């Protein structure tokens, strides 16, 4: 990589916890600010339905290279003055294997908007994070982010072997494709043709691609072939916020019900160095001492999530952030690795907070339903039809679609919960308002340190200053 490498990568945190405001703040400090592309189509649609009071979304929309698409989106979602609080949000079309044009359009545009806003008015670096597990939205989302000139694409939660090729195809305005796993059938392909959406001659810059991995074998595998080789790696330890890689080998649990990780789950840094690609360390690297330690180990820097998620610039609603700050100040914040909560079946770290579905009362109060559907997996039904299922949908529906009973227990609706975290909860016809569910990493010490000097909360810029204070 020729250009300077950032020492700090602010972790991509879905849904819109790492929003454009957080990413822009970090980018303006000369580091890599990262937005989350996860579910950003519904995020943008809800911001428009809330009236886009700041005008930010509409300003970014005005910069999109195909205004015919923008006008359709505004006509469908924008509500001047905002919707009534008791009115449910209109949903964007669910993405499927056979991709409908309007579903692709809003994905492209929403990813464009988030990156465009993060990059507006400066020339700092901005990245976007995607989850490999959410395969059906990838092609359209990557196109949208690249149209806004994204500098880095970062992907975790799986083996992102197809991304380097997709990025190359889209940068040349060629048809890009992404394979999608289908339970009980051969993999399908989702494709995107940039020229269906933007004029020929549109300039698209090729961003760098970083793969998030937990162990060196995966790094070696991806680096071996030019088709799959990323421009660098983020090596994420299992203490990190969000989803974690499952433990390798037989799963064992401690008395708290949390998975036990062993030496096989730790990447061998010496082997990673031999790949001759830059790497950043993540998971409990959110302090000046740990930044220094990472650099001493030969890393280009660190990726930090939790410290930025708690900062005042993140997308958490004021209510959610206050709950977190109160618990941090009283030293009562509990974070647990939950192996059941995520429909993806990956372990995920969850903070226990009152009124959230992380508590047994909050979980019991929520009527099960699946309407956002990002974590649905395509499967072939007994009659040979393609169906979509998620273990967090109502039990009878999941089982009718061939899902296993043992996959249901303890599953939570991350899609709706994560939307609620950022102040965009769905309101149901019966008055139920979707409750939040917060993921955070195990390492909350940095946030506690900064809260001592900034009792009302600290900014992401202050977090960057602190992280770099020893280098
Ligand atoms: C609230 C939150 C949400 C996250 N969401 C994602 C995500 O959507 N995709 C992803 O690759 N990583 C996600 N992460 C992981 C971060 O990008 C980062 O790698 C991690 O937080 C680093 O470890 P730390 O939390 O100890 O700093 C998330 C982390 C947090 C705290």
CA 84 to chain centroid, in Å, comes to: 29
- The residue count of the chain comes to 471
Nearest to 14 by CA among 41, 54, 48, 32: 41
pLDDT at 456: 95
Q: Say if ligand 1 is within 6 A of residue 335 CB.
A: no
3-state secondary structure (DSSP) of residue 349: strand
Nearest to 180 by CA among 226, 227, 138: 138
Atom of ligand 1 nearest to the CA of 234: 19
- Is residue 21 within 8 Å of 36, Cβ to Cβ? no
Give the chain's largest Cα–Cα span: 62
pLDDT in tens, the chain (471 residues): 446 899 999 999 999 999 999 999 999 999 999 999 999 999 999 999 999 999 999 999 999 999 999 999 999 999 999 999 999 999 999 989 998 999 999 999 999 999 999 999 999 999 999 999 999 999 999 999 999 999 999 999 889 999 999 999 999 999 999 999 999 999 999 999 999 999 999 999 999 999 999 999 999 999 999 999 999 999 999 999 999 999 999 999 999 999 999 999 999 999 999 999 999 999 999 999 999 999 999 999 999 999 999 999 999 999 999 999 999 999 999 999 999 999 999 999 999 999 999 999 999 999 999 999 999 999 999 899 999 999 999 999 999 999 999 999 999 999 999 999 999 999 999 999 999 999 999 999 999 999 999 999 999 999 999 999 999
Q: Say if ligand 1 is within 6 A of residue 240 CB.
A: yes
As given in the structure block, the two tokens for residue 58 are: 């509409």
Atom of ligand 1 nearest to the CA of 307: 27
Q: DSSP for 89-107? A: PPPPPPP-SS--HHHHHHH
Establish if 29 belongs to a structural domain: yes
CA–centroid distance, 258 to ligand 1, in Å, is: 18
**Dihedral angle computed from the Cα positions of residues 412, 416, 418 and 419, in that order, rounded to the nearest 10 degrees:** -170
Domain tally for the chain?
1
Establish if 18 belongs to a structural domain: yes
pLDDT at 248: 92
Give the C-alpha separation, 346 to 187, whole Å. Answer: 21
Among 9, 10, 12, 374, residue to substitute to test ligand 1 (most atoms within 8 Å of Cβ): 12
Establish if 113 belongs to a structural domain: yes
Establish if 79 belongs to a structural domain: yes
Establish if 71 belongs to a structural domain: yes
Establish if 415 belongs to a structural domain: no
Atom of ligand 1 nearest to the CA of 282: 22
Q: Say if ligand 1 is within 6 A of residue 38 CB.
A: yes
Q: Say if ligand 1 is within 6 A of residue 417 CB.
A: no
3-state secondary structure (DSSP) of residue 274: helix
Helix (H) or strand (E) segment spanning residue 170 = helix 163-171
Q: Say if ligand 1 is within 6 A of residue 306 CB.
A: yes
For 197, residues 6+ apart whose C-beta sits below 8 A from its C-beta are 66, 69, 104, 105, 108, 143
Establish if 348 belongs to a structural domain: no
As given in the structure block, the two tokens for residue 462 are: 């202050």
Q: Say if ligand 1 is within 6 A of residue 40 CB.
A: no
CA–centroid distance, 154 to ligand 1, in Å, is: 12
CA–centroid distance, 332 to ligand 1, in Å, is: 21
For 160, residues 6+ apart whose C-beta sits below 8 A from its C-beta are 132, 209, 211, 222, 230
3-state secondary structure (DSSP) of residue 301: strand
| Sign of the Cα pseudo-torsion (325, 329, 330, 336, in order) | positive
From atom 17 of ligand 1, which residue's Cα is the shortest distance away? 11
CA–centroid distance, 214 to ligand 1, in Å, is: 13
State the residue range of the domain holding 246: 8-315+456-467
String of b and e for 90-127 (b: at least 16 CB within 10 Å)? eebebbbeebeeebbbbbbbbbbbbbbbbbeeeebbbb
The model's pTM: 0.97
Q: DSSP for 102-145? A: HHHHHHHHHHHHHHHHHHTTS---EEEEEETT--TTHHHHHHHH
Establish if 258 belongs to a structural domain: yes
pLDDT at 199: 95
pLDDT at 208: 98
Instruction: Give counts: helices (H), strands (E), the chain.
Output: 17, 14
pLDDT at 4: 84
List the CATH number of the domain containing 460. Answer: 3.20.20
Q: Say if ligand 1 is within 6 A of residue 231 CB.
A: no
Burial class (CB in 10 A: 0-12, 13-18, 19+), 135: buried
Helix (H) or strand (E) segment spanning residue 189 = strand 188-192
Give the C-alpha separation, 170 to 209, whole Å. Answer: 13
Rg (CA), the chain: 21
Burial class (CB in 10 A: 0-12, 13-18, 19+), 191: middle
Q: Provide the strand spans (E) within 214-271.
A: 232-236
pLDDT at 424: 98
- Is residue 302 within 8 Å of 324, Cβ to Cβ? no
């Amino acid at each position: 990589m020729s250009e300077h490498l950032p020492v700090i990568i602010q972790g991509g945190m879905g849904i819109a916890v790492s929003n454009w405001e957080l990413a822009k703040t970090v980018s303006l400090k000369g580091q890599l600010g990262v937005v989350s592309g996860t579910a950003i189509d519904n995020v943008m649609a809800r911001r428009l339905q809330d009236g886009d009071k700041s005008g930010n979304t509409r300003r970014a929309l005005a910069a999109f290279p195909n205004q015919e698409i923008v006008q359709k989106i505004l006509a469908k979602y924008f509500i001047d003055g905002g919707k009534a609080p008791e009115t449910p949000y209109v949903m964007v079309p669910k993405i499927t294997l056979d991709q409908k044009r309007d579903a692709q359009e809003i994905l492209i545009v929403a990813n464009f908007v988030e990156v465009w806003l993060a990059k507006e008015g400066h020339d700092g670096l901005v990245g976007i994070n995607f989850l490999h597990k959410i395969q059906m939205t990838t092609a359209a989302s990557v196109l949208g982010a690249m149209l806004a000139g994204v500098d880095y694409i970062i992907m975790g939660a799986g083996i992102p072997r197809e991304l380097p090729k997709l990025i190359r195809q889209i940068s040349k305005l060629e048809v890009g494709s992404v394979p999608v796993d289908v339970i009980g059938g051969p993999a399908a392909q989702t494709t995107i043709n940039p020229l269906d959406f933007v004029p020929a001659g549109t300039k698209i810059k090729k961003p760098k691609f970083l793969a998030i991995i937990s162990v060196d074998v995966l790094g070696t595998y991806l680096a071996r072939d030019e088709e799959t080789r990323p421009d660098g790696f983020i090596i994420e330890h299992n203490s990190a916020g969000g989803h974690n890689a499952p433990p390798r080998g037989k799963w064992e649990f401690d008395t708290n019900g949390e998975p036990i990780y062993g030496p096989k789950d730790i990447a061998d840094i010496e082997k990673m160095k031999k790949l001759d690609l830059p790497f950043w360390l993540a998971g409990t690297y959110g302090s000046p001492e740990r930044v220094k330690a990472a650099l001493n180990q030969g890393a280009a820097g660190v990726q930090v999530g939790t410290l930025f998620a708690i900062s005042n610039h993140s997308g958490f609603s004021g209510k959610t952030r206050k709950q977190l700050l109160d618990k941090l100040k009283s030293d009562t914040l509990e974070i647990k690795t939950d192996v059941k909560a995520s429909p993806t079946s990956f372990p995920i770290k969850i903070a226990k907070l009152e009124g959230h579905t992380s508590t047994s009362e909050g979980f019991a109060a929520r009527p099960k339903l699946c309407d956002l559907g990002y974590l649905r997996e395509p499967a072939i039904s007994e009659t040979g039809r393609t169906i979509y299922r998620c273990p967090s949908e109502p039990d009878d529906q999941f089982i009718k679609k061939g899902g296993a009973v043992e996959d249901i227990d303890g599953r939570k609706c991350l899609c709706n919960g994560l939307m609620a975290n950022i102040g965009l909860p769905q309101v149901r016809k019966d008055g139920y308002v979707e409750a939040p569910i917060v993921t955070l990493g195990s390492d909350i010490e940095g946030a506690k340190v900064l809260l001592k000097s900034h009792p009302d909360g600290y900014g992401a810029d202050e977090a960057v200053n602190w992280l770099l204070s020893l280098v």
